[in-house]
Amino acid sequence: MEKETIKYISQPTIKRLPLYLNILRNLPKDQNFVSSSYIAAELKLEPIQVRKDVSSLGITGQARMGFNALQLIETIESVLGWSNTRDAFVVGVGSLGTAILGYKGFEDHGLKIIAGFDNDVKKVTTKVHGREIFHVNQLAELARRMNIQIGILTVPNEVAEITANLMVKAGIKAIWNFTQTKLFMPHDVIVERVDLASSFAVLSSKLVEQKTKGAKSEA
What per-residue string of b and e applies to 162-179 under the rule 16 or more CB within 10 Å gives b?
ebbebbbebebebbbbbb
Cα 127–133–138 angle (5° rounding)?
A: 155
- The interface partner of residue 111, options being DNA, its own copies, none and the CB cut-off 5 to 8 Å by kind, is its own copies
**CB-wise, 56 or 149, nearer to DNA?**
56
- The interface partner of residue 30, options being DNA, its own copies, none and the CB cut-off 5 to 8 Å by kind, is none
Q: Which of residues 27-66 bind its own copies (CB under 8 A)?
A: 42-44
Question: Taking CB under 8 A as the rule, does residue 219 contact its own copies?
Answer: no
- The interface partner of residue 47, options being its own copies, DNA, none and the CB cut-off 5 to 8 Å by kind, is DNA
Please state the separation of Cα 196 from the chain's center in Å. 14
Q: Region of 80 please: left (phi>0), alpha (psi -120 to 50) or beta.
A: alpha
- Residue 38 burial (CB count, 10 A): 17
Q: Which of 92, 102, 66 is nearest to 164 (CA)?
A: 92
Q: Which of residues 65-124 bind its own copies (CB under 8 A)?
A: 78-82, 86, 94-96, 98-99, 101-103, 105-106, 108-111
- Sites of contact with its own copies (CB under 8 A): 9, 11, 14-19, 22, 42-44, 78-82, 86, 94-96, 98-99, 101-103, 105-106, 108-111, 129, 149-150, 173-174, 176, 180, 182, 184, 188, 190, 192-208, 210
